[in-house]
Amino acid sequence: MSYRRITDTWNLARSKVKFFGVYPSGFLSIARALLGVNCTDRVPHVCSGKVREYPYEGFGPNDVTFDLDAALTPDIVGDANELADYECSLERYPDIKAILADPPYSEDGADNYSPSRRKFPNVNTIIRNAIEVLPPGGKVGVLPLHWPRYPKDKAKQVALAGVYVGNGDVGRTYAVFEKIA
């Protein structure tokens, strides 16, 4: 059976939330659709920052936040680089079908967050850890600056989109991977 990867470019408006690295306007609802989850499905937001303050649709009533910075009062205080932190979170929330991650885009960019964020989360590690804990068919979506790597023996890529918020701004890549084994 063959499948067609979803590829696209999204030109979205800047967010109205004053937080470095916040999602562009309208991003979360589109990202969630590509994860194949509805608004009531529970989705952990890894490197969640202030996603609860996102003023547009896309953050579901059952979603959970996962962040290293306890000052942001995430549901799960955890390190995105550590598989054990994902495993602990899924013990609390076993009905997870998808994970969405928005790590800092660079080590320099991570300096814009609180000092506890200085342990730079590696996007390829985030994908590998998420795929490890998801059930077969579960998806992980990530929004880094580059096209990330994934464990090809355990997942397939199902979507790839360039994300821009304005002429002259740095673009990001939204990639979705599905667990196959």
pLDDT digits (tens, 9 = 90+) for 33-84: 999 999 999 999 998 888 888 777 889 999 999 988 888 899 999 888 889 9
Mean local confidence (pLDDT), 127-153 = 94
What is the pTM assigned to this prediction? Answer: 0.85
At 13, list the tokens.
């408006």
Mean local confidence (pLDDT), 87-100 = 89
Q: Which residue has the higher pLDDT, 62 or 11?
A: 62
Strands (E), 90-164: 98-101, 139-142, 155-164
**Could you say which DSSP state residue 64 is in?**
E
- Domain ranges, ordered by start, for the chain: 6-179
Burial (CB count within 10 angstroms: exposed 0-12, middle 13-18, buried 19+), residue 157: middle
Tell me, which fold does domain 6-179 have in CATH? Rossmann fold (3.40.50)
**Backbone torsion region of residue 54, taken as left when φ is above 0, otherwise alpha when ψ lies between -120 and 50, otherwise beta:** beta
Report yes or no: 104 and 121 within 8 Å, Cβ to Cβ. yes
State pLDDT tens for residues 12-38: 666 666 655 567 778 889 999 999 999
Mean local confidence (pLDDT), 85-99 = 88
pLDDT of 117: 46
Sheet containing 98-101: give its strands across: 6-11, 155-164, 172-179, 139-142, 98-101, 44-46, 64-67, 76-77
Q: Which residue has the higher pLDDT, 9 or 118?
A: 9
Residue type, 81: N
